[in-house]
Amino acid sequence: MAAWARSPRLGKAVVSGWNSQPPEAGLKSRVATMKTLLYVEDSPDDRFLVERACGMGQVSFLLKTVESGFEAIRYLSGEEEFGDRAENPIPDLILLDLQMREADGFEVLRWIRGDPTTRAIPVALYTGSFIAEDIAKAYSEGANYFITKPSQLAALIEIVRAVDQCLASDSTRCEALARFSTPAGPR
pLDDT digits (tens, 9 = 90+) for 72-114: 999 999 999 999 999 999 999 999 999 998 899 999 999 999 9
Q: At residue 131, what are phi and psi to the nearest 5 degrees?
A: -75, 125
Of the listed ranges 15-19, 53-57, 92-96, 151-155, the least confidently predicted one is 15-19
The continuous run of DSSP H or E covering 70 comes out as: helix 69-77
**Cβ within 8 Å of residue 82, ≥6 positions away:** 11, 74, 75, 88
- Please give the domain boundaries of the chain with CATH numbers for all domains: 8-178 (3.40.50.2300)
Verdict on whether the full-model pTM lies above 0.75 = yes
